[in-house]
Amino acid sequence: MNSLVEENYLKALFLLSNREGEVSVNDLSRHLDIKMPTVTSMIKKLSDKQLVDYQKYKPVKLTIKGRDVAAQIIRKHRLTEMFLVEIMGFGWEEVHDIAEQIEHVKSPRFFSKMDELLHYPTYDPHGSPIPDANGHIPDKEFRQLSKCEIGDTVIFKAVTNSSTAFLKYLNSKELSLDTRLKIVDIE
Amino acid sequence: MNSLVEENYLKALFLLSNREGEVSVNDLSRHLDIKMPTVTSMIKKLSDKQLVDYQKYKPVKLTIKGRDVAAQIIRKHRLTEMFLVEIMGFGWEEVHDIAEQIEHVKSPRFFSKMDELLHYPTYDPHGSPIPDANGHIPDKEFRQLSKCEIGDTVIFKAVTNSSTAFLKYLNSKELSLDTRLKIVDIE
DNA sequence: TTAAGAAGTTAGATTAATCTAACAAATTTA
DNA sequence: TAAATTTGTTAGATTAATCTAACTTCTTAA
């Protein structure tokens, strides 16, 4: 079994992977807020466990096995966020930190109960897709707001930043998912 | 803040305390399944943090502060068990291990949401009282089954053993809380 | 194309929580 | 009450995850 710490590294690797599936040690270090030497040594451990492919001075890549484990953690995180919003009545800006804790619960039953109660959701409250039980992700691609122009009309489908502060800012502008927007100006 | 491990020691101290509020190092060691020298050293740490009173070769006692912290952990554990049964549809025999993990979640809001959704319950699914937000416990005393005699009629109110195995055994005998029983024989 | 800067690694220290072995104190029992 | 047993402590080792300091490799820009 993987430790909670190992799970956090795998999750970060999954989320930071570029199209080639690669992540630099530096990126990982910054996102986890853990110094590079620590990251290097943990990567070696994950490599021994066949969860990542690693060669000195090269970016890290999840193996199939590592990707599957990571997808399950992301699945649990996003299911939890959905559960917190839909069943427990939290706001979308409150759930990230709680889900970071609950995603590590060792009990498959716990998460399948959530899934059931939520009627098998495919997106979380921030518009991110929930991997299915096999780790597969429905990969709809949304257009990034930075690639839209003045005059475009778009439907707001997802955020990539789930921090409380940013979501509170959106709340204050009364921006929520599935809102239809006409872009009149760019800040 | 206290570590998850410290929280587990405090919880065990609370649950194992006799009328004088004392717990032997040996008891604690057996219940936590941690060797005595480890327990001794952790007790010293809790003593430094003013969470327990400790003198060499004497039993350990929670301070007021330690008792308050412990009661909050028990509160979170029991609220969680109730939530798992009432909101998520788990059986009473499944919830102990999951609650042991969720009780450590750092988010007062999370537990007050549970409390609200459950309409402020005072007992958990095993008949144990849930400490209130100030750590106070409604102390109804139930008669122990071992102190009942053949011919007595009683109402089954609580179990002191919440292990899956024991609760499954009770399920197999169709024994559930609030069942009226006439004692016809003693096994 | 090489010198500067960024990224990555190695070595070794630190901390929290655990363990075993050996010893000391307290309690029980013969 | 003295010996045996149980309980508790001390000392020192171990493991996982972290850190800092020093060094190496890679990348970039003059």
Flag residues 50-109 of B with CB < 7 Å from strand C.
57
Asked whether the beta carbons of B140 and B129 are under 8 A apart, the reply is yes
- pTM (2 decimals)? 0.90
Q: CA nearest A102: which of B75, B101, B87, B97?
A: B101
Nearest nucleotide to A5 (CA to C1') is D17
Mean pLDDT in chain B? 89
Proximity of residue B112 CB to strand C below 7 A = no
Q: What is the pLDDT of residue A186?
A: 65
In tens, the pLDDT along A95-137 reads 999 999 999 999 999 999 999 999 999 999 999 999 999 999 8
Q: What is the pLDDT of residue B101?
A: 98
In tens, the pLDDT along B138-160 reads 776 666 766 666 766 776 777 77
Residue at token pair 């003198």: B55
3-state helix, strand, coil in chain B (%, to 5): 45, 10, 45
Cα dist from B29 to B6, B26, B38, B48, whole Å: 14, 5, 8, 20
In tens, the pLDDT along B62-81 reads 999 999 999 999 999 999 99
Asked whether the beta carbons of A108 and A100 are under 8 A apart, the reply is no
CB pairs < 8 Å spanning A and B: 42
What is the spatial distance between Cα B130 and Cα B79, in angstroms, rounded to a whole number?
A: 7
Q: What is the pLDDT of residue A68?
A: 97
Q: What is the pLDDT of residue A153?
A: 73
Distance A25 CA to D26 C1' (A): 14
Q: Which chain A positions have a beta carbon within 8 Å of B113's beta carbon?
A: 88-90
Q: pLDDT-derived band of residue B170, with 50, 70 and 90 as boundaries?
A: low
Distance A143 CA to D16 C1' (A): 42
- Beta-carbon separation of A106 and B101 below 8 A: yes
- Beta-carbon separation of A89 and B114 below 8 A: no
- Beta-carbon separation of B90 and A105 below 8 A: no
At B99, give phi and psi (nearest 5°). Answer: -65, -30
